[in-house]
Amino acid sequence: MNDPTNDWKRVLDSHRLPEPVYVTKPTMPDLGRYTQELESLWKTGWLTNQGCMHQDLERRLEQHLGVENLSLFCNGTIALLVALQSLRINGGEVITTPFTFAATPHVLHWNGVTPVFADIDPHTFNLDPARIEQRIGSNTRAILAVHVYGTPCDVDALQTIADRHGLAVVYDAAHAFGVRYKGQSILRYGNASVLSFHATKLYTTIEGGAVVASSQQHKERVDFLKNFGIADEETVIGPGINGKLNEFQAAFGLLQLETVDQEIAQRAALARLYRERLETLPGLKLLPHNKEVTPNHSYFPILIDEAQFGISRDALYQALRDCNIVTRKYFHPLCSHYPCYAALPSARPENLPVAERVAQRILCLPIYGSLPPETVGAVCDVIGAIHRAAVAS
């Protein structure tokens, strides 16, 4: 008799990749060009505080993204914190999603706001507008929505709800660099949008981020707040913070900007390959296409239905790891499960059934510009082989 454990072991052994493949990897700029860019810093000694490269990068990012009033930051988390402060969202309650990175609810907490979690849409994994209105109360100040994986939220529905109740809308657009919706930048919606340029992101300044403000006056307020509230040498107009991006990061960002479109195009080709190979596998669900969206392919999430696929998400995660393929369970656990939020009434699992289900089933596969198409093929081979072995055992 054949021992199924041996079959399983054979599948993993025969598909193991020689080197680990991670979920993402930054595309590095040419080192010679980067050192050249830095030479000017040795001449001027101007290392931070809105230097020439910082100013240049703000302008170029605005042009590239098709937005105005962009303010650079040292990271996306401080950018979020300041975006909320700039809109005076510093108390009461804000409705947000549990299916996001830790920074989203944490910036609310740091601003003295109680996060109120609302459930997500089963197809886009973004805040479900139908669930938001049920959570609005007399203390609600704003909606903090996330374009998860770069998929646009239902921005029109969110704005209608916000207008009806007099709420601000802030978008955590950490994943949405370059995404367009109905022909314009997704960053143009709401009262502010916030980007992250962390090393794991499609476009990176190593650490970094930006606020896209809604007017020039709003950008000025954001700029004061990110620079200790300093207006001039002798005037501090409010309790700001230090959120500045330095010149080394700006130089990195300027070079990254030259290659980011190519990075997106390479990812698009890899995403197509994944789709061709995985779309027909039983028990796997991929993100839907939306004709109104120009995506950036920052992530390639799959949803695993254990009953049809043959094994659970966690088992697939482990099997892939055994084959040297390092996937990530973004976003498991849900933020509503963190000990600091779990006691909130809105965090109860029965209030968030879709998010609970998605967090148990989601897996993000490797995707980045320099990932060879053959490796994507190999990842799909492993997933297919695991599925066949699982349903046969």
Contacting positions for ligand PLP (CB under 6 A): 75-77, 100-101, 103-104, 146, 172, 174-175, 196, 198, 209
| Closer residue to ligand PLP (CB): 15 or 267 | 267
Shortest distance (Å) from residue 26 CB to ligand PLP: 13
By beta carbon distance, the residue nearest ligand PLP is: 76
Total Cβ atoms within 10 A of residue 98? 29
* CA atoms of 319 and 307, how far apart (whole Å): 17
CA distances from 259 to 57, 197, 263, 266 (A): 14, 14, 6, 11
| Closer residue to ligand PLP (CB): 245 or 376 | 245
Which residue has 């320099």 as its token pair?
370
Q: Are 221 and 195 in contact (CB under 8 A)?
A: no
| Closer residue to ligand PLP (CB): 128 or 309 | 128
Shortest distance (Å) from residue 105 CB to ligand PLP: 10
| Closer residue to ligand PLP (CB): 277 or 332 | 332
* CA atoms of 26 and 228, how far apart (whole Å): 31
Shortest distance (Å) from residue 97 CB to ligand PLP: 9
| Closer residue to ligand PLP (CB): 204 or 387 | 204
Shortest distance (Å) from residue 147 CB to ligand PLP: 8
Shortest distance (Å) from residue 179 CB to ligand PLP: 13
Shortest distance (Å) from residue 118 CB to ligand PLP: 16
φ, ψ (nearest 5 deg) of residue 233: -55, -30
| Closer residue to ligand PLP (CB): 101 or 248 | 101
Starting at the earlier edge strand, list the strands of the sheet with 284-286: 284-286, 300-304, 362-365
| Closer residue to ligand PLP (CB): 128 or 172 | 172
* CA atoms of 288 and 307, how far apart (whole Å): 21
Total Cβ atoms within 10 A of residue 108? 27
| Closer residue to ligand PLP (CB): 194 or 323 | 194
Within 8 A by CB and 6+ apart from 136, the residues are 95, 161, 165, 167
Task: Return the DSSP state at 188.
Answer: G
Rounded to a whole number of angstroms, the CA Rg of the chain reads 22
Within 8 A by CB and 6+ apart from 217, the residues are none
Find, among 360, 361, 363, 355, the residue nearest to 382 by Cα.
363
Shortest distance (Å) from residue 347 CB to ligand PLP: 18
Shortest distance (Å) from residue 36 CB to ligand PLP: 27
